[in-house]
Amino acid sequence: MSRRVRRSRDIAHREVEGQTVIVLPRTNEILVLNETGACIWELSDGGRTEAEVVEGLRARFDIDRETAARDVAALYDQLIEAGVAETAE
Amino acid sequence: MMGRRFRFQIPSVELSRLLVPVLMQADGPESRTDLPAVLTEVRLDRTLIAGASDPAELSFEGDVVRVQSSTGFRSTIDLEAATAELEMDGNHPADAFRFHLRTLAALLALRMGGLLLHSSAIARPDGAVVFLGATGTGKSTLASFSASAGAAILSDDLNAILPAAAGYEVYGMPACALATPLATSAGAFPLRCLYHLAQAPEDRVEPLSPAERTAMLMVQSPFVNMYAQTTEALLHNAARLARMVPMGRLHFTESMRFWSLI
């Protein structure tokens, strides 16, 4: 929960009415994040720890900590594997 | 066979509402003799539309786009100068022209704030309806059914969606995959709605969020959706269209039952 994840540079993405569209350059696929995913994406600036992102998510949505932590971790794994996010130093 | 060079002058990138460029000049008497006939065939001869897409690569240098094909043609499109040049070695000339014009249309549509969509489109009295989908999802079948119900087919393969004074307009491209000679309609038609096609055991319309619509529109924007240089414009144009025009996923059983849903 101490890792810091940030959006990779030069990744094309756009917020569209609360959701986020991300173009995955490695596979030429497009990922659509729902409202909670879009919130995690927005908070992932590399300055916040994963725990802080979990709390930021809980501040916006009525969600328990365990579920939020699981969602953040799962999305981070997916985004990092897709090459659109990376662990910050 | 000697190579040939064809040169097109695009009347006005910003103002022209027609995406098929008007031929203004060709380099050399040989090509000049051939050009009008070839362009006519692109519009009318459905045999030109069959076959796999040419494995061509685009490269970008500012407003200049170069297309290099593995089957013996290359073209240069200068969007700022509004010129497009096609060179080919004589092999697969129909494929070369087709790919050149489609690439040009996709780039122009993007520059004009619109999209060239892999789709079929029909015109009804209340506006045009566009059906998006990958090959085999039923675009041509839908167009054929729609024609039997009295709708005009704009194209069952590629349609340009361009911003208009109010909303968007649909331009059927001179391409049709149907084997039967269904008439295509020229001109612009106001866009009423779009559907993303999915074959299913029942006919129904599933709502899509604006972000999902954006993604579907980008996926079905051939020629320009594989390049980093066009991604931002594609995202921008697709998101705007997705916000402004109703769009859902049409689950389709390949029967006329869809007609009452749209």
Which domains, ranges and CATH numbers included, belong to chain A?
4-87 (3.90.930.60)
How far is B228 from B249, CA to CA, in rounded Å? 27
The answer to whether A19 contacts B226, with C-beta atoms less than 8 Å apart, is: no
The DSSP element (H or E) to which B188 belongs, if any, is strand B188-199
Which domains, ranges and CATH numbers included, belong to chain B?
4-111 (no CATH), 115-260 (3.90.228.20)
Say if B214 is an interface residue toward chain A (CB within 8 Å). Answer: yes
- Which residue in B has a C-alpha nearest to residue A23's C-alpha? B231
Confidence of residue B90 (pLDDT cuts 50, 70, 90): low
Beta carbons within 8 Å of A66's beta carbon, 6+ residues apart? none
The answer to whether B211 contacts A21, with C-beta atoms less than 8 Å apart, is: yes
Which one of A19, A20, A32, A39 would you mutate to disrupt binding with B, by most B Cβ within 10 Å of its Cβ? A32
How far is A58 from A66, CA to CA, in rounded Å? 10
User: B14 vs B109, which has greater pLDDT?
Assistant: B109
Q: What is the pLDDT of residue B194?
A: 97
What number is the ipTM of this complex? 0.86
Q: Given A17, A28, A33, which is nearest B226 (Cβ)?
A: A28
Mean per-residue pLDDT of chain A: 90
Average pLDDT of span B52-78: 79
Average pLDDT of span B87-110: 78
Say if A1 is an interface residue toward chain B (CB within 8 Å). Answer: no
Q: What is the pLDDT of residue B261?
A: 86
Which of A23-37, B37-51, B230-244 has the least mean pLDDT?
B37-51
Largest CA distance in chain B: 57
DSSP letters for B30-62: HHHHHHHHHHHHHHH-GGGT-SPPP-EEEEEET
Which one of B57, B132, B212 would you mutate to disrupt binding with A, by most A Cβ within 10 Å of its Cβ? B212
How far is B48 from B51, CA to CA, in rounded Å? 8
Q: pTM for the whole thing?
A: 0.82
Q: How many residues does chain B have?
A: 262
Q: B100: alpha, beta or left, given left = phi > 0 and alpha = psi -120 to 50?
A: alpha
Largest CA distance in chain A: 34
Packing angle, helices A35-43 and A50-60, rounded to 10? 140
Q: What is the pLDDT of residue B226?
A: 78
Taking each continuous run of H as one helix and of E as one strand, the counts in chain A are 3, 6
**Chain-centre distance of CA B61, in angstroms?**
23
